[in-house]
């Protein structure tokens, strides 16, 4: 099958790749670029484990085609920490034991960051509805919600 | 002699006796003699069972000692998720 | 309430987990995250029919497609060399003769790309003779039901059946005289219940990377709850020596019992062997639903008798569990655990393990117990109401305690059910007011817990830090609890200990991470390995001081002279002894291999408030409290996490989750959109109370905590919904249409 050349920006870096036209952005990230932090839980946009930012918008990478990334800006979990410093959300997830198996964690972190970028002071209900597109089977969500609320508080304090 | 309790449907395979007396010093002897004395039990014992000694559960533990002081139950092999 | 005298320093604290940063930065490697140079992709062809004889499979066109490197069917495996205990597993991994459910694997391809693999699958020609099918448990038990296996004669039934059926096994448990017990009852309630099959629902689909080399050796990377089990089963299916297959457990994205067997791994190994290249297989979510998991659908009947003052006189239960194509239901555990919460003179349960044209059953968290508890605790709640008794008082009055003969046989030693009920009574949740259309439900639950084969190793490094090696995959933070127990035993800092999960060639055999056994068994082994290392370090210090080894003792992470020599030398620190390892005899390590016993049974009591929308039947969970006995909570945050996670899986099972089959025997909701698991917006916070009644079988009193939390939720929610809706709910899930219909029927509408 003929492959298409794509130029895009991932976590601030210019990236080029070839992909088949039916390949998803998630396949490209994971299989072509070895960015395996985004996970495939369903391939149908229902679990949120592949959440990434596309031009500042939260999307499921399994519902975006690789070729659609041309001239766009993509942010993934791999770009969340800066240098040797974790993002406050990452730190709070650890402190609150908000992960058990950890497979859903990258998606939750990307989605939660998107929420706090847009709404730095969400209510618990707002957090719960924003994260309703991310499935976690281990935690019952309690500690995830607490971690996000706590991170929001800390980030507001820093601002 | 130790007294061994069998679960209901296992007892049915041992001539209907829910409690058996067996000469055994450990689990290995117990399972061996149960199968010898009550051939009906053999297939179930071979497939694997758990043995409860005073409320503690044992799988595959031949040398665990038992005496007439102990409460011993044969149970379906305990598994988990 | 049963507190220990002992003061713990590390155990009971809440440090960060050692594998946490990798998991919040996306660097942790899960099953699908590993690739190998020259790797091929493996894909399955699956049966579209619920039940069909496979007349022939023609793979020649697929094999001839450029880019296809290997093709596997059932005939690729030599069943005559496979041990009989693995025959069903092999037949499930790759169908032989018959496809027994929609999604049953019939062939597999390894190709250089996904698109070529897909094309190749379409070129495989399977000639099916479609057979009548059955998916419902009651229908599968009927005398005229389509037979899945012509050689299935109900085992353990006396007299032996002369005709084959779909009932694979019969179980009976109990003691006393059930009729005499019912004769003493003032009130008898008898009800029937049904529950739908549910899936474990782990977010990570099964994935593996197999690499067989031409000399007959192999390596396998996979997500599993037990890589030693995977190794042994795969080696058997492949006809390999065990030592020639090395299996490495990836990080595992949830299991809940569903990753305690093999599905794709032997096929990936066989494809790799035939192709002479590494092969990676990742299941799609649809495949996960159709061909892995799930647990049983059930049909149950419960009869309970009690006196007017609230003493149970007799309990009886009949449990019919649909166990999938090979009748692997956990009905024996349902029948054993059903009445395990209560002190009963007369009790009898029977269980039937039933085959149907559905995926082969796999364990799901406290296998078999949640459904039975749903039925039993529903009748218990109704009985309490009928007798005009408080729900918790009624349970307390009948609760099993130390010395109670359990409904499944053994007499309990120290158990914590009473303590959980009392903690629930004094919780402010229990006395909080309820509004209109709201109800409160209570239920208790039980799980056995388990020990098993365990091997660990502990290496003391020259800077005084410690590496700990276990063979039980970490599903929910167990590395942290391992570190805490070692820190406790050695008296060193938690941060100086790092725990890894070793591959199958690096340690002795370890049973699967299941049965809530990991913190208990690997912890027990590590405590002993730490003791082993301490004894060696004591001997080293004694030699440095030139005094007898018996003349030293271990205290607060140091070795110090004891007895006659007390005070003669300054205590020697752990780090100091470690630093001198080279001059005092070489590396210092501790080891322990054990078949762990002494896992303490565990009980929990749950409380839930719900609101039922009278117009739609929609149930909203308003408040939820889990009270459970942990024996000793090693890392309380992860213990709470187990309580919360189990409760929420139970909420899904109670309200929404369900395998829905069409008339054609095909699964209609094989995706997360239609198989509706709880999401964050469905739920409130899940409150937890950790009760600690020490397990006498563990040096720190630890009991398993992973499974009991899923046992009471469905019953507790059913009791709450029944109260709010004004009608007893007897079928799961209590989805809006079902609740609405029940309310309408009750109104006589």
Cα C696 to chain center, whole Å? 23
Asked if residue B81 is part of any domain, the answer here is no
pLDDT band at C1 (very low <50, low <70, confident <90, very high): very low
Any C CB within 8 A of B80 CB: yes
Q: What is the mean pLDDT of residues A93-105?
A: 98
Query: CA of C598, closest CA in chain B: separation in Å?
Result: 5
Give the mutation candidate from C519, C680, C689 for the A interface (greatest A CB count, under 10 A): C680
pLDDT band at C352 (very low <50, low <70, confident <90, very high): very high
Contacts with B78 from chain C: Cβ below 8 Å: 333, 448, 450, 515
Domain boundaries, chain A: 4-79, 88-158
Q: Which chains reach chain A with 3 or more Cβ–Cβ distances below 8 angstroms?
A: C
Asked if residue B72 is part of any domain, the answer here is yes
Contacts with A37 from chain C: Cβ below 8 Å: 25-27
Contacts with B73 from chain C: Cβ below 8 Å: 409-410
Cross-strand partners of C140: none
Nearest CA to C503 among C532, C469, C480? C469
Any B CB within 8 A of C353 CB: no
The predicted pLDDT at position B79 comes to: 87
**Nearest CB to B80; choose among C350, C408, C516:** C516
Distance between CA C127 and CA C59 in Å, rounded?
11
Distance between CA B69 and CA C455 in Å, rounded?
31
Over 80: is that where the pLDDT of C578 sits? yes
Asked if residue B58 is part of any domain, the answer here is yes
Whether residue C25 and residue A90 make contact (CB cut-off 8 A), yes or no, is yes
Contacting C residues, span 237-296, partner chain A, CB-CB under 8 Å:
251-256, 282, 284-285
The predicted pLDDT at position C253 comes to: 98
Contacting C residues, span 211-250, partner chain B, CB-CB under 8 Å:
none
The predicted pLDDT at position C3 comes to: 58
Contacting C residues, span 372-411, partner chain B, CB-CB under 8 Å:
408-411
Contacting C residues, span 682-711, partner chain B, CB-CB under 8 Å:
697, 707
Over 60: is that where the pLDDT of B34 sits? yes
Task: Name the residue with tokens 């987990």.
Answer: C17
Residue of A nearest to C254 (CA): A101
Query: CA of C646, closest CA in chain A: separation in Å?
Result: 8
Asked if residue B34 is part of any domain, the answer here is yes
Distance between CA C10 and CA C635 in Å, rounded?
9
Q: What is the value of ipTM here, to two decimals?
A: 0.98
What's the half-sphere exposure (Cβ side, CA atoms, 13 Å) at A120?
A: 8
The predicted pLDDT at position C181 comes to: 98
Over 70: is that where the pLDDT of C2 sits? no
Contacts with B46 from chain C: Cβ below 8 Å: none
Q: What is the mean pLDDT of residues C307-327?
A: 98
Distance between CA C424 and CA C626 in Å, rounded?
9
Whether residue C173 and residue B8 make contact (CB cut-off 8 A), yes or no, is yes
Q: What is the pLDDT of residues C591-625, one digit of tens each?
A: 999 999 888 899 999 999 999 999 999 999 999 99
What percent of chain C stands above pLDDT 70? 99
Q: Mean pLDDT across chain C, nearest whole number? A: 96
Q: What is the pLDDT of residues B57-75, one digit of tens each?
A: 898 899 999 999 999 999 9
Contacts with C628 from chain A: Cβ below 8 Å: none
Q: What is the pLDDT of residues C665-722, one digit of tens each?
A: 999 999 999 999 999 999 999 999 999 999 999 999 999 999 999 999 999 999 999 9
Question: Do A and B touch, counting CB pairs below 8 Å (3 needed)?
Answer: no
CATH code of the region A88-158: 1.10.150.120
Over 80: is that where the pLDDT of C4 sits? no
Task: Name the residue with tokens 């005496």.
Answer: B67
The predicted pLDDT at position C749 comes to: 57
Go through the domains of chain C in sequence order and give each one's CATH number: 20-27+451-596 (3.30.365.10), 34-131+204-253+259-291 (3.90.1170.50), 297-449+600-746 (3.30.365.10)
What's the half-sphere exposure (Cβ side, CA atoms, 13 Å) at C343?
A: 17
Residue of A nearest to C20 (CA): A94
Asked if residue B15 is part of any domain, the answer here is yes
The predicted pLDDT at position A37 comes to: 98
The number of distinct structural domains making up chain B is 1
Q: What is the mean pLDDT of residues C127-155?
A: 97
Whether residue A39 and residue C284 make contact (CB cut-off 8 A), yes or no, is no
The predicted pLDDT at position C414 comes to: 87
Q: What is the pLDDT of residues C494-525, one digit of tens each?
A: 999 999 999 999 999 999 988 889 999 999 99
Whether residue B57 and residue C451 make contact (CB cut-off 8 A), yes or no, is yes
Nearest CA to C97 among C71, C61, C133, C73? C73
CATH number at residue B61: 3.10.20.30
SS (H, E, C) C55-111: EEEECHHHHHCCCEEEEEEHHHCCHHHCCHHHHHHHHHHCCECEECCCCCEEEEEEE
Contacts with A52 from chain C: Cβ below 8 Å: none
Over 80: is that where the pLDDT of C30 sits? yes
The whole domain housing B64 covers 2-76
Q: Mean pLDDT across chain A, nearest whole number? A: 97
Query: CA of C547, closest CA in chain A: separation in Å?
Result: 46
SS (H, E, C) C608-667: EEEEECCCCCCEEEEEEEEEEECCCCCCHHHHHHHHHHHHHHHHHHHHCCCCCECCCCCE
The predicted pLDDT at position C159 comes to: 87
The architecture in CATH of the region A4-79 reads Roll (3.10)
Contacts with C672 from chain A: Cβ below 8 Å: 41-42, 44, 46-47, 135
Whether residue C450 and residue B8 make contact (CB cut-off 8 A), yes or no, is no
Higher pLDDT: C157 or C611? It is C611
Higher pLDDT: C614 or C747? It is C614
**Nearest CB to B80; choose among C350, C450, C601:** C450
Give buried/exposed letters for C27-39 (b at 16+ CB in 10 A, else e).
ebebbbbbebeeb
Over 60: is that where the pLDDT of A159 sits? no
What the block records as the tokens of C75 is 């005939």
């Amino acid at each position: 099958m003929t492959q298409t050349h794509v130029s895009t920006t991932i976590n601030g870096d210019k990236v080029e790749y070839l992909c088949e036209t039916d390949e998803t952005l998630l396949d490209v990230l994971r299989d072509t670029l070895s960015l395996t932090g985004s996970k495939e839980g369903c391939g149908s946009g229902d679990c949120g484990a592949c959440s990434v930012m596309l031009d500042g918008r939260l999307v499921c990478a399994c519902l975006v085609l690789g070729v659609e990334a041309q001239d766009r800006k993509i942010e993934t979990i791999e770009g969340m920490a800066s240098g040797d410093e974790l993002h406050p959300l990452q730190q709070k997830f650890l402190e609150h034991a908000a992960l058990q198996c950890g497979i859903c964690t990258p998606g939750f972190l990307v989605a939660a960051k998107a929420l706090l970028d847009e709404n730095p002071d969400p209510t618990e209900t707002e957090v719960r509805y924003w994260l309703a597109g991310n499935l976690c089977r281990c935690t019952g969500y309690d500690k995830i919600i607490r971690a996000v609320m706590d991170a929001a508080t800390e980030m507001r304090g820093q601002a | 002699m130790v007294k061994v309790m069998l679960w209901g449907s296992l007892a049915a395979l041992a001539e209907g006796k829910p409690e058996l007396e067996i000469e055994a010093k450990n689990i290995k002897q117990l399972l061996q003699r149960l199968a010898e004395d009550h051939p009906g039990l053999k297939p179930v014992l071979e497939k694997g069972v758990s043995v409860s000694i005073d409320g503690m559960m044992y799988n595959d533990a031949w040398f665990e000692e038992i005496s007439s002081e102990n409460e011993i139950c044969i149970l379906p092999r305990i598994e988990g998720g | 309430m049963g507190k220990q005298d002992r003061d713990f320093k590390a155990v009971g604290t809440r440090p960060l987990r050692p594998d946490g940063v990798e998991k919040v930065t996306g660097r942790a490697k899960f099953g699908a995250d590993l690739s190998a140079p020259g790797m091929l992709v493996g894909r399955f062809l699956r049966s579209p029919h619920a039940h069909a004889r496979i007349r022939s499979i023609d793979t020649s066109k697929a094999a001839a497609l450029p880019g296809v490197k290997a093709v596997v069917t059932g005939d690729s495996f030599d069943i005559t060399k496979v041990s009989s205990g693995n025959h069903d597993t092999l037949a499930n991994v790759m169908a032989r003769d018959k496809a027994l459910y929609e999604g049953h694997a019939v062939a597999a391809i390894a190709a250089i790309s996904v698109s070529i693999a897909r094309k190749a699958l379409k070129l495989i020609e399977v000639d099916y003779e479609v057979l009548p099918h059955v998916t419902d448990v009651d229908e599968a038990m009927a005398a005229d039901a389509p037979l899945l296996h012509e050689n299935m004669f109900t085992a353990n039934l006396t007299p032996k059946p002369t005709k084959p059926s779909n009932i694979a096994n019969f179980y009976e448990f109990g003691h006393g005289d059930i009729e005499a017990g019912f004769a003493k009852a003032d009130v008898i309630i008898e009800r029937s219940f049904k529950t739908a099959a549910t899936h474990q629902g782990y977010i990570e689909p099964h994935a593996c990377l197999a690499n067989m080399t031409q000399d007959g050796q192999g390596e396998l990377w996979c997500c599993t709850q037990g890589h030693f089990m995977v190794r042994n089963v795969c080696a058997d299916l492949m006809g390999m020596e065990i030592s020639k297959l090395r299996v490495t457990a990836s990080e595992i994205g949830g299991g809940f019992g569903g990753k305690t067997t093999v599905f794709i791994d032997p096929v990936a190994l066989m494809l790799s062997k035939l192709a002479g290249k590494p092969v990676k297989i990742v299941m799609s979510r649809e495949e996960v639903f159709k061909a892995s998991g799930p647990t049983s659908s059930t049909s149950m009947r419960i009869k309970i008798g009690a006196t007017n003052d609230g003493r149970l006189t007799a309990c009886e239960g009949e449990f019919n569990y649909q166990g999938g194509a090979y009748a692997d239901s956990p009905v024996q555990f349902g029948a054993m655990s059903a009445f395990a919460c209560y002190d009963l003179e007369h009790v009898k349960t029977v269980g039937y393990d039933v085959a149907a044209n559905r995926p082969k059953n796999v364990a799901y968290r406290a296998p078999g117990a949640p459904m039975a508890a749903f039925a039993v605790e529903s009748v218990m709640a109704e009985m309490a109401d009928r007798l005009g008794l408080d729900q918790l008082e009624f349970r307390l009055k009948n609760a099993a305690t130390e010395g109670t003969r359990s409904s499944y046989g053994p007499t309990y030693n120290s158990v914590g059910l009473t303590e959980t009920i009392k903690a629930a009574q004094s919780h402010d949740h229990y006395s909080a007011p309820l509004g209109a259309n709201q109800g409160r439900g209570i239920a208790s639950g039980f799980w056995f817990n388990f020990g098993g084969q365990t091997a660990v190793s502990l290496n003391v490094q020259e800077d005084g830090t410690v590496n700990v090696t276990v063979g039980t995959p970490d599903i929910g933070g167990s590395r942290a609890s391992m570190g805490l127990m070692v820190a406790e035993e050695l008296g060193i800092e938690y941060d100086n200990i790092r725990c890894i999960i070793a591959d199958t060639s690096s340690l002795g055999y370890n049973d699967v991470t299941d049965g809530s056994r990991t913190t208990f068994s690997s912890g027990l082994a590590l405590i002993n390995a730490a003791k082993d290392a301490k004894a060696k370090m004591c001997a080293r210090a004694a030699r440095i001081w030139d005094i007898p080894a018996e003349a030293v003792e271990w205290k607060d992470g140091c070795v110090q002279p004891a007895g006659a020599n007390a005070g003669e030398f300054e205590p020697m620190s752990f780090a100091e002894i470690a630093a001198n390892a080279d001059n005092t005899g070489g590396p210092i390590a501790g080891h322990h291999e054990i078949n762990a016993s002494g896992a303490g049974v565990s009980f929990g009591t749950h409380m839930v408030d719900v609101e039922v929308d009278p117009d739609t039947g929609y149930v909203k969970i308003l408040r939820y409290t889990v009270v459970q006995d942990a024996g000793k909570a090693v890392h309380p945050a992860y213990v709470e996490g187990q309580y919360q996670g189990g409760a929420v899986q139970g909420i899904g099972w109670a309200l929404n989750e369900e395998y829905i089959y069409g008339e054609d025997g095909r699964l209609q909701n094989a995706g997360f959109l239609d198989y509706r698991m709880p999401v964050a917006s469905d739920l409130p916070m899940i409150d937890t109370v950790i009760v600690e009644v020490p397990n006498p079988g563990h040096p720190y009193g630890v009991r398993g905590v992973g499974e009991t939390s899923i046992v009471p939720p469905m019953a507790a929610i059913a009791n709450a919904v029944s109260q709010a809706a004004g009608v007893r709910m007897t079928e799961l899930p209590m989805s809006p249409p079902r609740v609405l219909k029940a309310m309408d029927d009750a109104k006589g509408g």
